[in-house]
Structure 1
Amino acid sequence: EQASLIRESQYQKAEYKRLEKEWKKRLEELEMEVRHFDIEIERLKTERKERSAALQRKLFEQFRMLNAQGEVKDLYTIFEQTVQKVPPAGAGECALPKLLQYAYLHQLKPLAMAEFWWGDSPKNEIRHHGYYYPSCKGKCEPILQHMLQGLEIDENPLLNPVHEEEELEIVFEDEWLLVVNKPAGMLSVPGKAEDRDSVYHRLKKKYPEATGPMIVHRLDMATSGLLLVAKTKEVHQDLQAQFANRSIKKRYVAVLDGAIIKTEKETKPIAEKAILIAKDTVSTKKTAKAERTGSTGRIELPLCLNPLDRPRQMVSSEHGKEAITEYQIISESERITSESENTFNESNRIDESERSINESRKYTRIVFYPLTGRTHQLRVHAAHPEGLGCPILGDELYGKKADRLYLHAEYIEFRHPIYGNILCIQKEADFHKKI
């Protein structure tokens, strides 16, 4: 009986090896078939891509855009001078290029033009019904640079120096660092146009012996307020590290263009925060006793650049980076609109009747505590329907234009890189008593 079991075991082992070899061979044959299909799929994908590109090129070559001088260029020729080199999908289909093309084809001379948004805002971008917006940079700007040649157009206001004669205010200074009050309309650091006025240019000229990048963080050109500057490379690195680990505390004050109606957005209460009501201060105390008023909340909307409409940012759960803002509503009041603001309002809105009575009469004073530092974070979190749904007054990117953007970085708290003490610096906004 034992011999029988041994023979049966040997047979089963041999059968197992035979079956293993047979199925291994079968699997290899199937893998070869799959590889054949994979190769064919990749070939078809490549062919589809090539055919699609050829068709797109053929279509874009049909877009032969005129300008006021009678010159003609197709879209491929126009976009050869851009970073992307090829026209993006939908190029040439926007309203303004089509209107200009019609005018040139019918020997008409354009005198003025404007584009406004009609309807609800897209989910990711911020648009307000009836508000004027400039053409997008990704698709329209290269086309319009060609089509507007030969027309008399206004100078770009961004190229005109706004604060050329104005002295840059220094709020705090010692031998290692300084804090300046950047005026609205001035760049923190130079952009593409290297000769444009900026805080960096001013301070590099004032402190030629300073080393390192100097500017520790940035404020949007339209935003005013406290900007931290290092005089040495080592101090700059230390302060940058404090920003990276989020130990630096900042507070912004803003005026919203309207009243916040959607109180259901205030779903995430935040801890009690001390509001410094005093005027300009420089202190080494870490806390300040003050009153807390109004509603508080927290906004978490991931942000990324809108690639076709720089420098606008957009909300994107897929591509956006984490962006968190805590806020506190200070007051809501009736707004007495100045004559200059009325002019701005009328130039940036097509129909006053389209605007709610509540929005036209109210403004909201609010304090922001950004926990992250994304580009345009406070502006988008204020204006987006899933944020506060109420743009900052004077925000021409996400709301409507006024005499300035009513956003000011009024307070910053950080550890001194050399002495180790905590510095608390505050500068009141120049619009504090204006509204």
Structure 2
Amino acid sequence: MIEICYQDEYLVAVNKPAGWLVHRSWLDRREKIVVMQTVRDMLGQHVFTVHRLDRPTSGVLLLALSSEVAHTLSGQFEQHQVSKTYHGVARGYLDGDGTIDYALTPELDKIADKFAQPDKAPQPAVSHYRALARVEMPVAIGRYPTSRYTLIELSPETGRKHQLRRHMSHLHHPLIGDSTHGDLRQNRGFARMFECPRLMLHASSLMLNHPVTGKPLKINAGWDQTWQNLMVRFGWSGILPDFERVEFPTASRQDMASSTLNP
């Protein structure tokens, strides 16, 4: 089963678990559990994809229930009429907010994109970020005796492949768990010390106009247990947006570290 965040007669949104493929792919022919087939079986009807989430990313995934609605929604995504909010955990300390305007060369897959033009020019890519909280943990991963992390809110203005992951790497604050653009040593240490063996990137919400009624629609997806456990351990549980607020267990003093909440 998969959590349904929103459903009406025209569309359905689910909270995609980290590690799930959206649909069957020749990149991993052995994978049997994918989002599209799972949702189709739950609803008893065909569903249509309108955007994508990388396999390691969790969060809101919107699906249409007809080809006509799929066409309309796809157009909204292509014309950047959908507002997307992500949360992530980055290596190191970040302050305040900012905009990353850094063009990205298309990333090509050796199999899926073997017929694509290999020398495409960099494409414009813009992302906005806001630091929400910071923490320094008494854990040595790398050359320093402590490890620092920042909880960030991310909003992509464009939709390039791996855009948020690549932009955070460009800032020298890669997302934890990013095996392609991140810090391998930090990823391994973080997974071992904090029981968190996944990419710390979650698509928290989508805002758009309903493709049929035209009314504003906001769809939220809560964080999974791995995220919730980490929020407790890092002392960040109080900063969850209201729609994601859950009851957290009380963390012990040993699990807590001094954290700084940005105003």
TM over 0.5: yes
Matched, 1:379 2:165: yes
User: For the Cα contact (< 8 Å) 1:257–1:362, is it kept in 2?
Assistant: yes
Aligned residue for 1:81?
none
Aligned residues of 1:251 and 1:411 also touching (Cα < 8 A):
yes
Distance in structure 2 (CA, Å) of the matches to 1:310 and 1:229: 23
Match of 1:243 in 2: 77
Distance 1:405 1:196, change over 3 A: same
Identity %: 32
SS in structure 2 opposite 1:241?
A: helix
Shift of 1:197: 1.7
Amino acid at match of 2:206: I
What does residue 179 of structure 1 align with?
13
Aligned equivalents of 1:172, 1:299: Cα separation in 2:
33
The one of 167, 189, 212 equivalent to 1:418 is 212
Q: How far apart, in 1, do the equivalents of 2:48 and 2:111 lie?
A: 30
Task: Report the CA distance between 1:308 and its aligned residue.
Answer: 6.5
Q: TM-score, normalised by structure 2?
A: 0.72
Residue 228 of structure 1 corresponds to 62
Residue 301 of structure 1 contacts residue 381 of structure 1 at CA under 8 Å; is this kept in 2? no
1:216: Cα distance to partner? 1.2
- Alpha-carbon shift at residue 429 of structure 1 (Å): 2.1
- Superposed displacement of residue 372, structure 1: 1.1
| Cα contact 2:106–2:120 (8 A) shared by 1 | no
Which is strand-richer, 1 or 2? 2
Once the two structures are superposed, residues 384-413 of structure 1 have per-residue CA deviations (whole angstroms, 9 ceiling, x without a partner) of: 2xxx11110111222233311100000100
Per-residue displacement from partner, 1:274-298 (whole Å, max 9, x unpaired)?
xxxxxxxxxxxxxxxxxxxx33333
**Amino acid in structure 2 at the alignment position of 1:197:** I
Alpha-carbon RMSD = 2.7
Which AA in structure 2 matches 1:186?
Answer: W
Structure richer in helix, relative to its length: 1
SS of match in other structure, 1:420: coil
Distance 1:168 1:417 in 2: 24
Rounded to whole Å, the distance in 2 between the matches of 1:205 and 1:428 is 23
**Cα separation, 1, equivalents of 2:202 and 2:148:** 20
1:201 counterpart (30, 37, 53): 37
Contact kept, 8 Å, 1:171 with 1:180, in 2: the verdict is yes
Question: Does structure 2 retain, via aligned residues, the 8 Å contact 1:302–1:317?
Answer: no
Unaligned runs of 5+ residues in structure 2 are 192-196, 232-263
Amino acid at match of 1:296: G
CA offsets, 1:117-172, max 9 Å, x none? xxxxxxxxxxxxxxxxxxxxxxxxxxxxxxxxxxxxxxxxxxxxxxxxxx200011
Q: Secondary structure at the match of 1:434?
A: helix
Q: What TM-score, normalized by structure 1, do the two folds share?
A: 0.45
Aligned length: 212
Q: What is the distance in 2 between the residues matched to 1:307 and 1:230?
A: 27
Greater RCO, CA 8 A, separation 6+: 2
Q: Give unpaired runs (5+ residues) of structure 1.
A: 1-166, 264-293, 346-351
Contact 2:59 2:221 in 1 (8 A): yes
Pick closer, same or farther for the CA change 1:336–1:234 going to 2, 3 Å.
farther
Q: Structure 1 residues 407, 307: CA separation in 2 closer, same or farther (over 3 Å shift)? A: closer
Would you say the 8 A contact 1:383–1:389 is kept in 2?
yes
